[in-house]
Amino acid sequence: MTDTTTFATALIEADTQVPMIRITRDFAATPAQVHRAHTDPDLYAAWVGPDDLSTRIDHWDARTGGSWAFTNLRGEETFSFHGSFHEVSPLRLVQTFTYDAWPESVSLETLTLTDLGDGRTRMVVTSLVESFAARDQWLASGMETGINEGYAALDSLLAVGRL
């Protein structure tokens, strides 16, 4: 039997066995389009995060062995993040992710893309952190709003043919 479940909004799950968060989301786009949205700095800045923040790319080298840094802005408030790209391939991205205000809490993120056919892609992102307390801190941070608003913005970019 084929799984016909679709994820129009992100399914965010906390793993009960390891300190990991799993995010599943479907897009009306090809894997190449979703990949580009995560590796092209101008596109990434156009959709990532909650609606009330803008994103400034501070550094972006989306290749295996590269690194990145960006800052979210809301008025006078800033929220900075950085990490390293460990693998950049057509169907998988592996990177570290650090919120600069929580430098001791580095997550290892793996994004995989599955072609569902008919121009649709399923994206699964796992974020592994060092403890259940750190995982719960990420979950309580408001990440759900940022994830869903960001992916809705990505849907809009896809709909107008920006990717």
Q: In 4-102, where does DSSP find H-type helix?
A: 31-39, 41-47
Phi, psi of 157 (to 5 degrees): -65, -40
Alpha helices (runs of H) in 123-162, residue ranges in sequence order: 132-140, 143-159
Mean pLDDT of 10-30: 97
On the question of pLDDT at 2 being above 60, the answer is: no
For the chain, what percent of residues have pLDDT higher than 90?
A: 86
Structure confidence by residue, pLDDT tens digits, 75-92: 999 999 999 999 999 999
pLDDT tens track for 95-121: 999 999 988 889 999 999 999 999 999
Q: How confident is the model at residue 8 (pLDDT cuts 50, 70, 90)?
A: confident
Quick count: other Cβ atoms within 10 Å of Cβ 65?
A: 10
| 3 pLDDT above the threshold of 90 | no
Secondary-structure percent of the chain, ordered helix, strand, coil, rounded to 5 = 25, 40, 30
The pTM is what? 0.92
User: Does the pLDDT at position 1 exceed 50?
Assistant: no
Q: Please say whether the beta carbons of 23 and 7 come within 8 A.
A: no
**Among 54, 76, 50, residue whose Cα is nearest residue 142:** 50
pLDDT at 7: 82
Q: Rounded distance, CA 147 to CA 152, Å?
A: 9
pLDDT at residue 141 greater than cutoff 90:
no
pLDDT of 5 reads: 72
